Chain A
Amino acid sequence: MNLIFTILIDGLTYASWLFIVALGLTLVFGVLKILNVAHGSFYALGAYAAATLVGWFASMQLAPELSLIAMLLAAVAVAALIAPLCERGLLRVFYGRDEVLLVLVTFALFLIMEDATKLIWGVNPLYVSEPYMLFGIVEMGPQSYVGYDFMLVAVAAIVGYVVWWGLNRTRIGKIVLAVIHSEEIASSMGVNVSRIYTLAFATGIFLASLGGALTAPMISVQPGVSVGVVIVSFAVVIIGGLGSIPGAAIGALIVGIARSAAVHVWPVAELFSIYVVMAVVLMFRPEGLFQRIQARKI
């Protein structure tokens, strides 16, 4: 019983930050129809920026609680500065090309950003331990858990709700949904599609970098963190269905629990359990669990 509980808690924690990152990926795909391979690089950028800002805050002897603000600011900075640059300066040049070619464009961006982060922050790992102990230790029966993990779960739930509410209950959200449905009709109705693209991309990148900033205290921030994250995020959005918010949530939970179960029950399967689930879902429901099957257009 304890084992099941541990698997569920670990899985939920893993799923929470993964959901935030995957939500960004699915939003970008939903609006721009681009499967962004560089999404993990923005996650890494968020983690590096958070490590730097939290370090600055600490050097200025500010209250440790403010490190949470520093992490949020790091994510905002990445989304506000880098995302529009990439969307307007790079992706826009390739809109309308084959979707696989666009994947390759973002693969090139991934390669560029991998080295760019190394050139800026070096190759030595960075540690941001301050925020991790802010929420203390939570005792649950015989097990102890770090409170920060539960904070992550709460943040993921809030982020998921805010994005859903923003898309379904606000004017700008409805415009985004109109663009997702048909860019041409939205454009003919006076919607500035180009601006919506930039907004959606920046929001997606904000979520990726927020995921990176939030996980920075739990990992050592070093070159290579992006490589694993992007591929796991792919698994989440493929399982849930590309472009679906509930799909990203369920996908993240499935991936989180599958990985956690493998770690605790059969460690050998840790690395491939996620991809087995992804392959099985693709085989039986290629559109993902939460997407309707679309008729083939002639």
Chain B
Amino acid sequence: MNSLSSSMRTLIAGIACIAILLVAGTVMPKWLTFLITMSAANGLVSLGIVSLMRTGVVSFGQGMVFALGGYTAALSFGNLGITDAVLLALGGGLVALLVALPFALLIARYRGIFFAMLSLALSMVLYGLLMKSQTMGGSDGFNMGRVSIFGVRPTDSWSGYASYAVTVTLGGLVGMAMRIYFDSTRGLVALASRDNEIRVEYLGSSVQNLIAANYLIAAFTGGMGGALAVMALGHVEPEFSFWTTSGDFVFVAILAGHHSVIAAFIASTVLEIVRSFSSSYFPNSWQLSLGLFLLAVIRFLPRGIGSIWEAKRKKGEQA
């Protein structure tokens, strides 16, 4: 009964958030809708890392699924004539999931730095392939045209909002699904395996299967995030799969912490704001600002933004 009410609460809160964002988007300046679109798309990739973090592992190669999703959307648009944003986003997620599938059980055998390094190696293999592939545009990548929503192609003035609407809606829906998954028995067992893997195994659950499942979920959300980001940017390039891109996603996941879903989106927005303002006001030292910000977060908020309201919630329960 409790879990049902918890799921209902998640659904109501999620739908309300999406509705507020959709309405607010109509009056927002264009730069802000773009910033939130990119934050939500990138947040989806980091949300995948958060789901892996709940099992105690961190992927340094989510750039791979981000690029797979992005290239799938751009190629489907250009070569297959699929222009619907929702189909492209789902297609991006699905292709990323299918590519990750053969690696899932293999990578789930690894822990700590080895998990991070194997995922990084896979993403760098894709980066190398994309850089040298002339059919994929080589190091320059290629552009993608304007997408449609349920058969309607938005006008110039509404194209930014259309991309924003699709991204926040899909981001919100995936966020709700992830919250429900995190609160499910399987989700809680994953969290327990973070604390003590052997104890969880002894109680009859397979930690390897849990990590493999979360790796595939992370691949799907990452691919979807990549497709949505490419639709907003109108361009895809091999840098999507480069290790520094993956580093940004890990940064957002660490900033968010492994407790909260919404924190992943907030952390992603914080990163986009810091990045945008640093590159505007300190064009030659925005990475320096970002690095200092990252250090401050790790120093003062090592368990992430999500830990703030997690602590408040626990305090409330005790009271």
Q: Which chain A residues have a beta carbon within 8 Å of chain B's beta carbons?
A: 35, 37, 90, 93-94, 97, 99-101, 103-105, 107-112, 114-116, 118-119, 227, 231, 234-235, 238, 242, 267-273, 275-276, 278-279, 282-283, 286, 296, 298
Contact = CB atoms under 8 A, between A and B. Distances in A.
Given A227-B244, A275-B125, A275-B128, A108 B120 contact: no
B132 A271 contact: yes
B233 interface: no
A100 B58 contact: yes
Contact of B124 (A90, A107, A231, A270): A231
Contacts of B145: none
Contacts, number: 119
A101 B302 contact: yes
Given A110-B291, A269-B132, 7 more contacts: A37-B247, A108-B295, A112-B287, A115-B285, A278-B117, A286-B114, A286-B118
B20 interface: no
Contacts of B58: 100
Interface stretch (B66-74, B105-113, B174-182, B222-230): B105-113
Interface of B: 58, 60, 106, 109-110, 112-114, 116-118, 120-122, 124-129, 131-132, 198, 243-244, 247, 250-251, 254, 284-288, 290-292, 294-295, 298-299, 302
A108 B121 contact: no
A115 B288 CA distance: 6
Contact of B128 (A97, A118, A272, A296): A272
Contact of B284 (A105, A119, A267, A296): A119
B251 A107 contact: yes
Nearest to A280: B121
Contact of B243 (A231, A268, A272, A282): A231
A264 B292 CA distance: 42
- 4 tightest CB-CB pairs across the interface, nearest first? A272-B128, A271-B128, A111-B291, A112-B291
A34 to B, nearest CB: 10
Contacts of B114: 282, 286
Nearest to A272: B128
A282 B117 contact: yes
Contacts of B110: 282, 286
Contacts of B127: 271-272
A111 B113 contact: no
A80 B295 CA distance: 23
Contacts of A100: 58, 112-113, 116, 250
A283 B117 CA distance: 11
A99 B113 CA distance: 7
B292 A282 contact: no
A229 B243 CA distance: 12
A97 to B, nearest CB: 7
A279 B247 CA distance: 19
A272 B125 contact: yes
A279 B115 CA distance: 11
A103 B247 CA distance: 10
B54 to A, nearest CB: 14
A90 B288 CA distance: 15
A238 B287 contact: no
A268 B132 contact: yes
Given A111-B288, A275-B125, A282-B121, A298 B116 contact: no
Nearest to A109: B291
Given A115-B287, A272-B125, A279-B125, A103 B113 contact: yes
Contacts of B298: 94, 97, 101, 104-105, 108
A107 B294 contact: yes
Residue among B106, B244, B302 with the highest chain A CB neighbour number at 10 A: B244
A238 B285 contact: no
A293 to B, nearest CB: 12
Contacts of B294: 104, 107-108, 111
Residue from the set B122, B128, B198 with the largest chain A CB neighbour count within 10 Å:
B128
B254 A104 contact: yes
A18 to B, nearest CB: 16
B112 to A, nearest CB: 6
A90 B132 contact: no
A283 B58 CA distance: 17
A35 B115 CA distance: 13
10 contacts: A35-B113, A107-B294, A108-B294, A119-B285, A231-B124, A234-B117, A275-B122, A279-B118, A282-B117, A286-B109
B194 to A, nearest CB: 11
Nearest to B110: A286
Contact of B295 (A105, A231, A269, A296): A105
Nearest to B133: A268
Contacts of A119: 284-285, 288
